[in-house]
């Protein structure tokens, strides 16, 4: 009976050891899953934050680009007005020169 008691105890120890291994393995799997989920959630939060910042920066860049285009258009319009004024002044100066030359020819006759 002592032998069977030792055998039963040894068998019980083996089952206990196997049960502990299974529990440790299960615990490691749960820990790994929890860690993976935490890592995934953190990664997603970082990506969302980066994307939100990029969207905000793109909006600011879009506004700045529109503002720059508007200023360029205003400068183009001003340049056109100045070019037209310059053209009129050049034409008036040419007319004055023609008139002076014509008067000088009449005086010389």
Question: Can you give the pLDDT at residue 5?
Answer: 78
pLDDT of 40 over the 90 cut: yes
What is the Cα–Cα distance from 66 to 77, expressed in whole angstroms? 16
What is the Cα–Cα distance from 28 to 81, expressed in whole angstroms? 78
The model scores a pTM over 0.75:
no
pLDDT, one tens digit per residue, over 76-108 is 999 999 999 999 999 999 999 999 999 998 888
Q: Which range has the worst mean pLDDT, 9-23, 28-42, 47-61, 65-79?
A: 9-23
């Amino acid at each position: 009976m002592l032998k069977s008691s030792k055998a039963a105890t040894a068998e019980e120890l083996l089952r206990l050891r196997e049960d502990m291994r299974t529990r440790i393995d299960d615990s490691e799997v749960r820990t790994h899953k929890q860690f993976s989920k935490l890592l995934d959630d953190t990664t997603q939060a970082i990506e969302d934050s980066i994307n939100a910042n990029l969207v905000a920066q793109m909006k600011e860049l879009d506004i700045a680009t529109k503002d720059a285009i508007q200023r360029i258009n205003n400068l183009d319009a001003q340049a056109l007005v100045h070019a037209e004024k310059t053209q009129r002044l050049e034409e008036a100066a040419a007319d004055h020169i023609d008139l002076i030359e014509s008067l000088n020819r009449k005086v010389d006759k």
